[in-house]
Amino acid sequence: MAKKEARSCIVKSAVRDLIKGMRASDDFFKELDALIAEHCKRAVERAKGNGRKTLRGIDV
């Protein structure tokens, strides 16, 4: 069975707009995606720990 590729959380074209004038390698996008996924996971845990189902800026 083929390994399923992880779904990306980021839009590469939007990131490229933010870093105009610079190039980004594929590993940059992979690391950025992993960073965002980890921050989201922590935010969910924090919100649940506070008895909320809504993520807020303070959770990040």
DSSP codes joined into one string, 1-60 = -PPPPPPPSS-HHHHHHHTTT----HHHHHHHHHHHHHHHHHHHHHHHHTT-SS--GGG-
Is 9 inside any structural domain? no
Residue 8 is predicted with a pLDDT of 87
Residue 14 lies in a domain: no
In a domain, 39, yes or no: yes
At 7 the pLDDT is: 83
Each residue's pLDDT, cut to its tens digit, for the chain (60 residues) gives 666 666 888 999 999 999 999 999 999 999 999 999 999 999 999 999 999 999 999 999
Nearest CA to 32 out of 18, 46, 48, 47 is that of: 18
Total domain count, the chain: 1
- pLDDT of 50: 97
- The whole domain housing 55 covers 25-59
Q: Which residue has the tokens 């809504």?
A: 54
Assigned domain for 33 exists: yes
12 domain-assigned: no
- Looking at the domain assignment, is residue 45 inside a domain? yes
pLDDT at res. 14: 96
Please state the pTM of the whole predicted model.
0.79
